[in-house]
Amino acid sequence: MITLTQVSKAYRTTRGMHVVLSNLSAEFASGRNIGIIGRNGAGKSTLMRLISGAEWPDSGTVVRRARVSWPVGFSGGFSGSLTGAENARFVARIYGMPTDRVLAFVIEFSELGEYFDMPVKTYSSGMRARLAFALSMAIDFDVYLVDEITAVGDAHFQRKCRSAFEDRRDRATLIIVSHDLTTIRSYCDSCAVLRQGQLQFCDSIDEAQRLYES
């Protein structure tokens, strides 16, 4: 459903090129939630942006045969000066969704209350994540790219996220990146380890843990 072929990505830094991904090939099938684990700086977020299509690889191709979300996480995508509602309206419009329906869903799901009509810059990071998560759930994606988000929020919100994903398990696939195996263990069927610019798929999450900790 999503195929990466020989994907490389490097960034310019003051100390020359920094290679993040080198010749990475991978295939993500639908219906199998997958967790990607890697240390800070291993290139997890870069990989997510490439899968989503927000950034382009330096070489290689990324083919998406499904409606893929943006990388849902704490950061990015919201303008601090606009309110939660205005941000939500914008995202609904670019995805061609009826704004009323999206807004109603987000109000209900995010439980932001009166904060929904306040500028996003007044939000805590947990509230931003709740807004991002609710917004992504309001739009019907085939694949949800989730960037470290599920560990936030209180137990109540986490339960809500879990049941939302279980509800759409048969029509939506999750790709989660994290540096923490607990999240991945509770959501995913399989796991891959990202290190040295390469993605290694593992048969079980325990195997991924051994590889990650080695």
Question: Under the rule (CB under 8 A), what is the footprint of other proteins?
Answer: 11-12, 45, 49, 52-56, 58, 68, 70-71, 75-79, 81-82, 86, 90-91, 93-96
**What are the C-alpha distances in Å from 9 to residues 56, 64, 106, 193?**
8, 18, 35, 17
Which residue number, 78 or 165, has a Cβ lying nearer to other proteins?
78
Q: How far is the CB of 93 from other proteins (least distance, A)?
A: 4
Q: How far is the CB of 6 from other proteins (least distance, A)?
A: 15
Which residue number, 78 or 109, has a Cβ lying nearer to other proteins?
78
Which residue number, 53 or 166, has a Cβ lying nearer to other proteins?
53
Q: Write b or e for each residue in 115-154: b if 16 or more Cβ atoms lie within 10 A of its Cβ, otherwise e.
A: bbeebbeebeeebbbbbbbbbbbbbebbbbbbbbbbebbe
Which residue number, 39 or 93, has a Cβ lying nearer to other proteins?
93
Rounded Cα distance, 108 and 129, in Å: 15
Q: How far is the CB of 2 from other proteins (least distance, A)?
A: 12
Q: How far is the CB of 206 from other proteins (least distance, A)?
A: 32
Nearest alpha carbon to residue 183 among 33, 27, 51:
33
